[in-house]
């Protein structure tokens, strides 16, 4: 079993929809939880990070962490075609990042 599980999708939604992306994890030692966005043939770029349990909002993006359930989420409101990318959850274990498989998201105009 992988340390971090993420549904690979693909996920396709119409423009303007609310998107929900999720990951589960098994290592209770993880303290920092991140969402990265990766466009095709590019490196990942950090969208948001959250420390421990709670919510964090940045514009149209909201990240949620529930450590008791070992479950994290990313919500995208008013989704735009430019949001089409692969979204990777990641968790910091010591110094390295442990990534989920990535969810491929397409926003249709």
Candidate list 12, 15, 46, 81; residue touching another protein; CB under 8 A = 46
Q: How many CB atoms lie within 10 A of CB 52?
A: 10
Candidate list 12, 26, 31, 80; residue touching another protein; CB under 8 A = 31
Candidates 59, 65, 12, 14; CA nearest to 35 is 65
Binding to another protein by residue 44, rule CB under 8 A? yes
Binding to another protein by residue 52, rule CB under 8 A? no
Whole-angstrom CA distances from 52 to 28, 42, 64, 81 are 10, 29, 10, 31
* Cβ proximity to another protein, 8 vs 16, nearer residue: 8
Q: Which range binds another protein by CB under 8 A, 11-19, 56-64, 65-73, 84-92? A: 84-92
């Amino acid at each position: 079993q992988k340390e971090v599980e993420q549904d690979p999708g693909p996920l396709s939604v119409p423009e303007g929809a609310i998107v929900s992306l999720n990951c589960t994890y098994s290592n209770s030692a993880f303290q920092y939880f991140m969402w990265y966005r990766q466009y095709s043939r590019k490196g990942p770029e950090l969208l948001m990070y959250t420390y421990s349990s709670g919510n964090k909002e940045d514009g149209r993006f909201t990240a949620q962490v529930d450590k008791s359930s070992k479950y994290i989420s990313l919500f995208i409101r008013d989704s735009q075609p430019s949001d089409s990318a692969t979204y990777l959850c990641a968790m910091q274990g010591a110094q390295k990042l442990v990534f989920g498989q990535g969810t491929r998201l397409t926003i249709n105009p």
